[in-house]
Every structure is written in C-alpha cells, then in structure tokens.
Chain A
Amino acid sequence: MVSRTVIKIAGENGMGGLSSVGEPLQKALKRLGFFIHSEREFPSTIKGGKASNTFNISTQPVRSLSQKIDIAIGLDREGVKDALETLSNGGILIHAFDRWNKVIKDLPAQEEAKNLRVVLIPAREIAVENGGSLIMVNTVLLGYLWKVLGFEIEILKTEIAEQFSSKPGLINLNLKCLEAGYNYDSGESLPALNIAKPVEILKTILIDGNTSLALGAIQAGVRAYYAYPMSPSTSILVYLAKVSHKTEMLVKQAEDEITAVQMALGSMHMGTRSLVFTSGGGFDLMTETISLSGMIEVPLVVGIVQRPGPATGLPTWTSQADLNLAIYSGHGEFSRIVIAVSDPTSCYLEIQNAFNLAEKYQTPVIILSEATIAMSYETVGVFEDNLIPVVRNLVKPENLESLQNSDRYKITENGISQRWLPGQSKTTFFANGDEHWEGGELTEEADKSEQMIAKRLRKTETIIAELPEPEIYGMEKTKLAIIGWGSTKNVILDAIEILKDQNIEVNYLHYTYLWPLKTDKFLKFIETNPNFFIIEGNHGGQLADLLQKETNLNPQEIDQRKLNKWNGRPFFVEEIIEFVKTKI
C-alpha cells in the first residue's frame, strides 16, 4: 500500500518564510529516510499573492502531487486563507495569525464545514520570550509542526544549525525558538497522523529538474552556457554560474535570447559543447538560429522549460504546450531531434544523450522540460559519472590531413557527412547559411539545391532507425492504457501503483523521444490495449494529434481519447485515478 502524507507551508509571496521553513523541513524529512516530492507554487511577483511549498512524503518513492493536504502551516494572512481553502477534510492548520477574527471572519465556519483542526500558536510571544525576532515566528511554527508530525527534534536541529551556518549569531536563537515551538503545549489533542516511518535510509539525493539538467550538462562536457533570464529556466543559469569556479565553465548571461543561441552555435561550430536553455517565448526568438543549425549542419542543443503561453502567459506555472513549437519551429525543412525529460534522473541522462545525438547527426536537438519538473524536488538515486560516454563523431586525427573540402557536406546515403573543426585541418570548408554545394560553396543551381536539401533531410530516416522506442510501464495488456510524455509519466506511475492496490491494472506507454516519432511500438500497444487514452498538459492534445497524423488513425476517435489539463497546474494523482475509474 502506497500511503503518503502531505504537508503544506503557505504564505505571502516574497516574505522569505517559505524557504526558511521549507528547506530545513525538507532536508530533515530526507534524513529520516522519507521519499519526497515537493512543489513550489508562486505568482510572478516580487512581493504579494499567495505562495506555497507542498511536501508529499512516503516510505515508497513518490513522484507526483496529491490534491489532499493533511497538515498546513499558515505563515501569515495569505497563508491561513490558502490553507483553509486547500486542506482536506479533517486536516490540521497551524498558524500564528492572531488577528484572524478581523480579516478572516469565516474561519470558524470553514473549520467546521471541513472538520478542520485549527491551532493558533502564540508564536510571536514565544519568539520574543526566547530572545528571537519576529521572523523567528516561522521557526516556532516549524518546531510545533515537527512535534505534531511525531518526529524527534534532534534531526531538525541539525538542519536548522546548517541553514544558519553562515550567520552563527542566529543559530542559538533559532534553536531556542524551535525547541520552544516543539515543546509548546496548545492543550489541543490533535488527531494522530499515523505516518509510517521509513525502516531503512537509502542513499539518495533530493534535487530539482533544473539542477539535474545543469549537472547532466557538466557531466556531458558542456563548457559554455549562454542564456537570457526567463522563468522557469533561470535557475539553470544561476546554478551553473554559482558552480563555475569549480567547473571552469564559461557561463555568460547574454543580452537577449538571439545572442545566447548565436553564441552557443558559434561555440559549437568551433568545436566545444555549449548549451542554451529558455522558455517558450525565448525559444520563439531563437528559431531562426535553429534553422541555421539545420542548414550548416552544426550541432546545437537548446532546451525549453515550458510554461503556459501564449505570450507572457503564466510565467511561474507549468505546461506541455510547446511540443508543436519544438517540432515545427524554424523556417525551411531540416532534420531535428526532440527529447522530453520527465523527472530529475531523466533530466540528468537525456541532456547527455542530446549532445551525443546532436554531434552524431549534426542537427539541432531540442529538449523539452516543464516548470513542474524544473522546480519540483524529488528524492532519486545518486547520479553516477560516466554512464553515457561523450561520443563526438568527429574525423579521426589520423584522417585530418587527407580530407577534401567537399567531404564536409558530401552527398551521402544516410545524410551524414564528415565533420571536423575549424583549425583542425589544413583543409578548410565553408559553413554557409545560403544553399551550398559539398565544400560549402554557394550554389543556386536547381539540381545541386535539390540534392543538398534531400541529403540533409535523409538524416531523419537515419535518426528514426536508431532512436529508442517509447517505453511500456506495467503489464503488456490491461483494461485501460495510458500514453503520455514529459511530467505526466510521474503522476501516472503513482496512480498505477495506487490503482493496483485496488485491483485495477493500468499500463502506460511513455514517449521520451518525440521527433522523429517512432510509431511501431505505439501501434502494437494500442492493438493490444484498445481502451487507451493520451494524457497531456495542454489544450489541444499535441502528442495525440501527432500520433494520429503519423499513423493515419481516425481523428474523431483520437479526439475521444484525449485527457487534457491546461490551467498551469500539473495533474494530481487523484485526477488520474478518478479518470481511470470512469473509463474502465
């Protein structure tokens, strides 16, 4: 039985309380051996609007979010209001907002309607009595929460000490406030949460998707990162800059997205590995360069961390609506590869695969991530070195002197010609964005243009033959099957486990490699599992439509087989379970 407990910390955005409570809480839970999936919700503001940190914890791996909230801390007025709205029936709310009866007059009514237990802690008085400041109200609340959760205080004290290690003067005050909160007797007898405690502590890391992408890039030998800040991709830039003294990577904030991707292409042309990440709007600006990469056959890896559009859309929320953008962006016809990551581990691995593929096929590779993957923390296995060796497919050193310049864009059967780097050989070549012939020399002749365009596009067939098929999770044949890509994998796998306990078997076909699209396994899968549904975080069903187009399935039938969500929130596990039960 997979059981999870859900803890929420809610407050006003930008007030600093969320991270001061959330970080030590999450780390201490990890130390206890819990599997964690945590998500941040916040608006695109500096201050104001509601923000929260939600922690799903379990003794089993937990990959996605639940709609239920068992226990919440309301850090301020916004937080109390948010917690009242989102707590499940019978949930516990801990807060210190003593003026609640002035501004949240219906608190008692809500408490009663949902059978909540609301505990008001005189945290300000407790903090002041212990010599603390007003900000330490949060530490008092955290101490009380920890007691209600039923854990020993020592492990949390270690994390608090760690958090304030750069401000030693504050360590003791915070520890005193934490203990005072922990020992506070509210006089309430709260319902037991019955949290199953981990029996063994596995070696894991607790990490978010963006950092995992950054670490994968470092492992893949990326030596230059260029970007323009854009949510939700910015933390990749910030992290790589922070560790650049250790990695000796060149990390450059460019003046705009066009510059970022142009610098990356220039660096790739010269022969290093460089990377660019952005979100949909920034990628729009980069698409002309994607086309240039296709034309001059210089490998390029660009990532989109999706958020809902169009235009500025919902900058801090999640989406899967840029699959079409990735596949169809850029003018003209050229080969490309589109890869979607789904969780921290796939972020770490797929970015490494992306570079090997880009260099092998000399094409742009577009990586799709999502805000929910980027910002969610998850406990996963430790990332290992050297799982994916760097493979560059450059001309071997001993062959550099026997090259002809026409080797660079030689018309070949599989579309791939030899690649060497500027300066490596006395044989030069022209990397020409205008149509060109085999040495890169300009041509506008019909015959040569026709041959060269077809040569570049033959790569698509070569790539499709070598890309991995989508993966099946669960049994070969079930009464209900799900197909998806990206982060939906996580929620579906969680739902499959929960449904299994209810004797409902569901299986899942997951696409990591989305373009060029492989369909053989998909066709067999739906033949074996005719009751299938395609679940996506967008309005139109972009993968569903792509599968329909590539396989000639009946479009009306495919339309009946879509489950979509496009409000900026990821799917919750309950939504999938409920959907399955209505369709089985």
Chain B
Amino acid sequence: MSQLHELISKSQEFSEFETKQKHTWCSGCGNFGILNALQRALVLENIKPHEALLCYDVGCNGNASDKINSYTIHGLHGRVLSLASGAALANTKQEVIAIAGDGATFSEGINHLVHAVRNDYPITFILHNNNNYGLTIGQASSTTKHGFAMSASPDGVIADPLNTLDFVLSLKPSFVARSFSGDVEHMTRTIQSGLNHPGFSYIEIMQACPTFNKATPQEWYWDKIKYIEDYPDYNKNDIWQARKMVENMETQLAIGVLYEKTEQTDFLQKVESRKNSTTELTQEVQNRSIQELLQEFV
C-alpha cells in the first residue's frame, strides 16, 4: 500500500493530531512539510496523541508547539535534547521526540548534542536545518555558507560552515539519517525509521527558508539530492561509508538512513542500577525505607 493510501485508511487517527491553532510561518517555509511528515509518521506508527511527548526548542520550529495535538514541552533555546532525554528516561513507554533548529543544536547547545549521541538516549531527534536563525530575522548560524551576507554579518559570514553530519558521525552515533523538507513522503519514512530505532536517532532535515536563506533555495537542494537507495552497494551499517558519503556538502546530498549501528543498544540497560528494573521511574515514587542504608552510620 502506498503511504498516501495507508494514511487515507487512517484519516480518523490523522485528524486526532490536528489542533485549531493558526500557523505563523512564512509561505513556502519548510516547516509545513516537516510538521506534516511528523504527523504522518506518528499515525503510520500507530502512536496516539497521548502516547507521545513532543519536545520543542526555541525558534521557528518551536512555534509548532501547539500545532500538533500531543503532550508537549516547549523549553529553552539550545536545551531540548537534555530536557527530552530526562523525560524519556523517566518513562520509556512514552514516545519522546525532540525538535530543534541548527542554531540551537550547533551553537547554543552543541554540548548537549555531543553527549546525547554518546549516551545514546532513547529519543528521536529531528533537526530543522535551515542554515540560519529565522525567528530572530536572518542571522548566520554555524551552518550558513561562507561569505553570504546575513543581518548581523553584512560583510559576509567569515567562518566555514560546520559539516553537521560528519561531526555527528565522528561521535559514534547509533542512527543518522537525512531528509529534505520538500519531500514529505521521504521525511515521513525517515522519521518512521528513527521512531523504530531504540537509541538516539539523529534525523537532519535540510529545510528551505525562502525568506532568509537565499543562498540555498529549494531548487539548490533538488539539484543535488540523491536517494541513498540509488547508490549501488551502499551499506548503511558501515560508518566509514557514511562518513565518505557526507564529506561533500556542495554537489552531492544523499538522503535516507545513512548509518545505523548493527547492534541495538538501550541506555537504561547499560545502567547497572536500572537494568533489572521492570517498572518505570514514574511508577516508583513512594516513601522508600532507608533503614538498611543507615546501618553504616549507627
């Protein structure tokens, strides 16, 4: 069954995610497509609105914080990965998804990204990479192209852009994928793969920003995008192939699941004190005797 057919058969479930809130993005913004894909992925994975926790960073993406009906938390700039990880560890039954932009992820809170990847916290992370700070009206981010004039760098951006995927792959992640805001069906499939991955799923969406990112408009991406399925013999379990694949940021942009670790790991299974626990932290809040521990001090 095609994705659309499957969605039509689940139109009731799809509508349960709808809210009455008005969208506040520019026309042509990539956020509309990403939001749609996220909603589709949740429906196709049979996740109900009350079974998820959508965690939003601050920025244009964060203005989606009341556009999908679900439990949410809309936190501070740059901190969503820590917030979402803390939530996910407390109740692993809830589907926790973190959403942030390139400013939050690669400037304000880059430390959280490093350690969320290293710890392999059980969350799905969707990066909206539109190569600039949109909501503060067009400043450069660490992914803005070198030399382009932005509102706070009128003479052009001085530093080279960060190669985000190469950076993340250097951290030995367990799941790395890339998609494009112009391809809702592909984003949906990619987010679904991320939801099915038990550890930290890094999903980068290259997002068109028609208002502030004139350097790489929609067509620029379409010219360079190639589906990972179209590379013969590509092995998504080989991190070195993945790193080779993301080296080039100018002429070749592979999209799809670029890397997934063969052996699946679960953060809480690696924590000695928790690996034999059968309940969630949220179910364990009660007075707990300390008398045995006190013996050391008697």
Q: Which of A420-450 contact B (CB under 8 A)?
A: 421-423, 425-434, 436, 440-442
A residues apposed to B, CB below 8 Å: 203-207, 211, 215, 218-221, 223-224, 226, 243-252, 254-256, 258-259, 262-274, 288-289, 292, 296, 298, 382-383, 385-386, 388-390, 392, 421-423, 425-434, 436, 440-442
Q: Which of B187-204 contact A (CB under 8 A)?
A: none
In the complex, which residue of chain A has the Cβ closest to the Cβ of B275?
A248
**What are the residues of chain A within 8 A of B21 when measuring CB–CB?**
441-442
Segment touching A, from B61-69, B142-150, B163-171: B61-69
Given contacts A246-B292, A270-B53, A428-B69, contact A434 B82 (CB under 8 A): no
13 A-B pairs in the complex with CB atoms less than 8 angstroms apart: A218-B288, A252-B271, A255-B112, A263-B89, A271-B91, A272-B280, A392-B285, A423-B94, A428-B50, A430-B66, A431-B74, A433-B75, A441-B66
Is B281 in contact with A250, judged by CB distance below 8 angstroms? yes
Shortest Cβ distance from residue B24 to the other chain A in the assembled complex, whole angstroms: 8
B residues apposed to A, CB below 8 Å: 19, 21, 48-51, 53, 55, 58, 62-63, 65-66, 69-76, 79, 82-91, 93-94, 111-112, 114-115, 268, 271-274, 277, 280-282, 284-294, 297-298
Is B66 in contact with A432, judged by CB distance below 8 angstroms? yes
Is A245 in contact with B272, judged by CB distance below 8 angstroms? yes
Is A265 in contact with B83, judged by CB distance below 8 angstroms? yes
Is A247 in contact with B71, judged by CB distance below 8 angstroms? no
**What are the residues of chain B within 8 A of A441 when measuring CB–CB?**
19, 21, 66
Is B50 in contact with A267, judged by CB distance below 8 angstroms? no
In the complex, which residue of chain B has the Cβ closest to the Cβ of A258?
B79
**What are the residues of chain B within 8 A of A270 when measuring CB–CB?**
53, 86-88, 90-91, 94, 281-282
Is B82 in contact with A422, judged by CB distance below 8 angstroms? no
Give A204 to B71 CA distance when docked, in angstroms. 48
Is B86 in contact with A264, judged by CB distance below 8 angstroms? yes
Given contacts A292-B76, A434-B74, A441-B66, contact A390 B287 (CB under 8 A): yes
Give A288 to B63 CA distance when docked, in angstroms. 20
Give A46 to B9 CA distance when docked, in angstroms. 67
Shortest Cβ distance from residue B200 to the other chain A in the assembled complex, whole angstroms: 14
Give A537 to B272 CA distance when docked, in angstroms. 41
Is B85 in contact with A430, judged by CB distance below 8 angstroms? no
Q: Select the residue from A211, A219, A251 with max chain B CB neighbours within 10 A.
A: A219
**What are the residues of chain A within 8 A of B62 when measuring CB–CB?**
434
Is A442 in contact with B66, judged by CB distance below 8 angstroms? yes
Is A266 in contact with B74, judged by CB distance below 8 angstroms? no
Given contacts A259-B111, A271-B90, contact A245 B287 (CB under 8 A): no
Q: Which 6 A-B pairs have the closest CB atoms?
A: A266-B86, A263-B86, A262-B82, A266-B87, A244-B273, A422-B71
**What are the residues of chain B within 8 A of A383 when measuring CB–CB?**
290, 294
Given contacts A382-B294, A428-B71, contact A274 B90 (CB under 8 A): yes
From B63, B75, B84, B289, contact of A292 by CB (8 A): B75
Give A213 to B65 CA distance when docked, in angstroms. 37
Is A386 in contact with B76, judged by CB distance below 8 angstroms? no
Give A447 to B77 CA distance when docked, in angstroms. 26
Shortest Cβ distance from residue B170 to the other chain A in the assembled complex, whole angstroms: 17
Sample of 19 more A-B contacts, CB < 8 Å, known A382-B298, A427-B50: A207-B297, A219-B288, A243-B293, A248-B277, A255-B111, A255-B112, A262-B76, A262-B112, A263-B85, A266-B73, A266-B86, A267-B86, A267-B281, A272-B284, A390-B287, A423-B53, A423-B71, A423-B93, A431-B71
From B51, B58, B72, contact of A431 by CB (8 A): B72
Shortest Cβ distance from residue B173 to the other chain A in the assembled complex, whole angstroms: 16
Give A251 to B291 CA distance when docked, in angstroms. 20
**What are the residues of chain A within 8 A of B88 when measuring CB–CB?**
266, 270
Is A224 in contact with B66, judged by CB distance below 8 angstroms? no
Shortest Cβ distance from residue B100 to the other chain A in the assembled complex, whole angstroms: 13
Is A211 in contact with B297, judged by CB distance below 8 angstroms? yes
Is A440 in contact with B50, judged by CB distance below 8 angstroms? no
**What are the residues of chain A within 8 A of B285 when measuring CB–CB?**
221, 223, 271-273, 390, 392
**What are the residues of chain B within 8 A of A390 when measuring CB–CB?**
285-287
**What are the residues of chain B within 8 A of A263 when measuring CB–CB?**
82-83, 85-86, 89
Give A292 to B56 CA distance when docked, in angstroms. 13
Give A422 to B88 CA distance when docked, in angstroms. 11
**What are the residues of chain A within 8 A of B71 when measuring CB–CB?**
422-423, 428-429, 431
Is B115 in contact with A422, judged by CB distance below 8 angstroms? no
Is B288 in contact with A247, judged by CB distance below 8 angstroms? yes
Is A440 in contact with B66, judged by CB distance below 8 angstroms? yes
Shortest Cβ distance from residue A271 to the other chain B in the assembled complex, whole angstroms: 4
In the complex, which residue of chain B has the Cβ closest to the Cβ of A352?
B287
Is A223 in contact with B50, judged by CB distance below 8 angstroms? no
